[in-house]
Structure 1
Amino acid sequence: MRKITNESSTRLKWPRSIVLLSLLVMVLLTGCADVSKTDSDTDQKGQQAKSEVQADKKPASKEDLEEEFGEVETPESELADITEEVTVTKVEEGDTIVVRGENGEETITLALADTPELILPDGSQDENYGMKARDYTRSMLEGVSLLFERSDSKNEDGNATGYIWMKNNADHVNYNKGLIERGLARLTESSNAKYIDEFREAEAQAKAEQKDIWSIDGYVTADGFDYSLLQ
């Protein structure tokens, strides 16, 4: 009878070890795949639930807000159907800004509010009211996401026009009107324009208090501004 050496014995046992090792690896891989699939399913369900909650979320009613915060003039619930959310990417002048929204990037002009030009007719820069209006709008709006109420008409340059609404706690304020209230813009009259009555009141108050553009007699004209008075 032939004697089996240790080397022969090792060769006979080695395949069995490989089989056991392969089975162990397969079990581990199967378990990892199940865990990964479970995590993926959980993430997908969580994202779906989050999307459903966001879709169902509606702005709080005026009554609910007033119960918590007191008097609220213009809550988001009254603006939701007439505005779009935009982000101001650039401020060109006090009444002219560039926004990015559902229509891409576009230049818009504030309706009813006309600020002095930054560049004067002689090509020089207005370092008085034009620059002050530009700097104020830049400090308030640039880089900010807010609500834009689009008007039906465009201005003479083909820019879209409309009203900017800024959130103020539970309320929203009309930025166009704010420029007029501060004496940084004059009202461009339009008999059937939205908000015209309250804008007229804002201008009358700024004029009575001689704020900024109203501090120089004759500077504000029916057609715009008399820049010669600044020279």
Structure 2
Amino acid sequence: MKFIRLLSVFFLTIFLVTGCSTSAKEDLHIKRVPVKLDHAIDGDTISVIYNGKPRTVRFLLIDTPETSHPKLGEQPFGQEAKSFTKKMVEGANTLELEFDIGPNHDKYSRLLAYVYVDGKMLQESLLEKGLARVAYIYPPNVRYVDRFEAIQKESQKKRIGIWQIENYAQDNGFHPEVMRTKRSTIHNMISSQTTGGDNKGAHTTPVKPSNGCKIKGNINAKGDKIYHTPSSPSYDNTKPEVWFCSEKEALSAGFHAPR
């Protein structure tokens, strides 16, 4: 009997700590702390006035590409994420923080929180735009991880933002080298075509094929594959990495028209 009572206490403790399910926890009234913006720092980091002092806030459960990392430098889509966060927090009428049940700060003394802009969680907005990945999942601060992962899956299906580039965003971070590898593959393919399979003397910029194809295929710094027809505004200034004979051919290769 004593063993059963101890077992019941154990499972009750687990229930109270984990909440059993995300939906159960979301039904609870969870306190949010109003703060004032100090300044935006990065896609997943801002500075706020908390308890009368400036404090850096690191967004819980997400990661955006870097813009000025001392080792990693600037990563593709880092500026887009930073600009989005900056626009959201600077235009907010109300800015609030929500803490999870675990530690509310990390080893760098940054606050760890869910950030709300006029009632909308900023983490969700970044994930919806494809500007962040779900990351740094450290229990017990996992209140919204299931919801975040569901949003991320939708962005992956749409292939927006960081998900446009296959294998760029991975479980262990962002990998710009994937884009460089893909570009190298395209250059090798073009060099092979223009030199009859011999890479000696291959051009780093492909010459125009003798078959008269006029549609230029270009991969920008973000890894975005864009094709330009002669009627495109930036056609003359575009340096082609591959040529296409028709828009259908370009689309089949994964390129899209300028937006």
Deviation at 1:229, TM superposition (A): 3.1
2:112 aligns with one of 130, 138, 161: 161
SS of residue in 1 equivalent to 2:152 = helix
Deviation at 1:156, TM superposition (A): 4.5
Relative to structure 1, the CA distance from residue 134 to residue 175 in structure 2 (aligned partners, 3 Å threshold; closer, same or farther) is same
Relative to structure 1, the CA distance from residue 104 to residue 191 in structure 2 (aligned partners, 3 Å threshold; closer, same or farther) is closer
Counterpart residue identity of residue 131, structure 2: L
SS of residue in 1 equivalent to 2:115 = strand
Structure 2: distance between partners of 1:220 and 1:83: 31
Deviation at 1:230, TM superposition (A): 4.6
Structure 2: distance between partners of 1:223 and 1:125: 17
Structure 2: distance between partners of 1:146 and 1:93: 16
Contact 1:89 1:143 in 2 (8 A): no
Structure 2: distance between partners of 1:157 and 1:173: 27
Counterpart residue identity of residue 131, structure 1: Q
Q: Deviations over 1:114-135 (max 9, x none)?
A: 1011125656434x30111001
Determine the structure 2 residue equivalent to 1:227.
Answer: 176
SS of residue in 2 equivalent to 1:177 = helix
Counterpart residue identity of residue 120, structure 2: V
Determine the structure 2 residue equivalent to 1:216.
Answer: 165
1:115-126 equivalences in 2 (<5 Å): 115-120=64-69, 124-126=73-75
SS of residue in 1 equivalent to 2:47 = strand
Determine the structure 2 residue equivalent to 1:94.
Answer: 43
Counterpart residue identity of residue 77, structure 2: Y
Matched positions, count: 150
Deviation at 1:103, TM superposition (A): 4.9
Deviation at 1:197, TM superposition (A): 1.4
Return structure 1 stretches of 4+ with deviation > 3 angstroms.
Answer: 120-126, 189-192
Q: Deviations over 1:134-180 (max 9, x none)?
A: 0110011026431111233333533111101222xxxx221111111
Contact 1:88 1:143 in 2 (8 A): no
1:194 aligns with one of 135, 143, 146: 143
Determine the structure 2 residue equivalent to 1:42.
Answer: none
Structure 1: distance between partners of 2:62 and 2:139: 14
Unaligned runs of 5+ in 1: 1-73
Determine the structure 1 residue equivalent to 2:185.
Answer: none
Relative to structure 1, the CA distance from residue 103 to residue 228 in structure 2 (aligned partners, 3 Å threshold; closer, same or farther) is farther
1:133 aligns with one of 50, 61, 81: 81
Deviation at 1:226, TM superposition (A): 0.6
Mapped pair 1:206 → 2:155: yes
Determine the structure 1 residue equivalent to 2:217.
Answer: none
Counterpart residue identity of residue 225, structure 1: F
Structure 2: distance between partners of 1:131 and 1:122: 17
SS of residue in 2 equivalent to 1:138 = helix
Determine the structure 2 residue equivalent to 1:183.
Answer: 130
1:23-42 equivalences in 2 (<5 Å): none
Unaligned runs of 5+ in 2: 1-25, 181-259
Structure 2: distance between partners of 1:195 and 1:110: 12
Relative to structure 1, the CA distance from residue 124 to residue 223 in structure 2 (aligned partners, 3 Å threshold; closer, same or farther) is closer
Relative to structure 1, the CA distance from residue 174 to residue 218 in structure 2 (aligned partners, 3 Å threshold; closer, same or farther) is same
Contact 1:97 1:109 in 2 (8 A): yes
Determine the structure 2 residue equivalent to 1:83.
Answer: 32
Determine the structure 2 residue equivalent to 1:173.
Answer: 120
Name whichever structure is richer in helix by fraction.
Answer: 1
Contact 1:120 1:227 in 2 (8 A): no
Relative to structure 1, the CA distance from residue 123 to residue 204 in structure 2 (aligned partners, 3 Å threshold; closer, same or farther) is closer
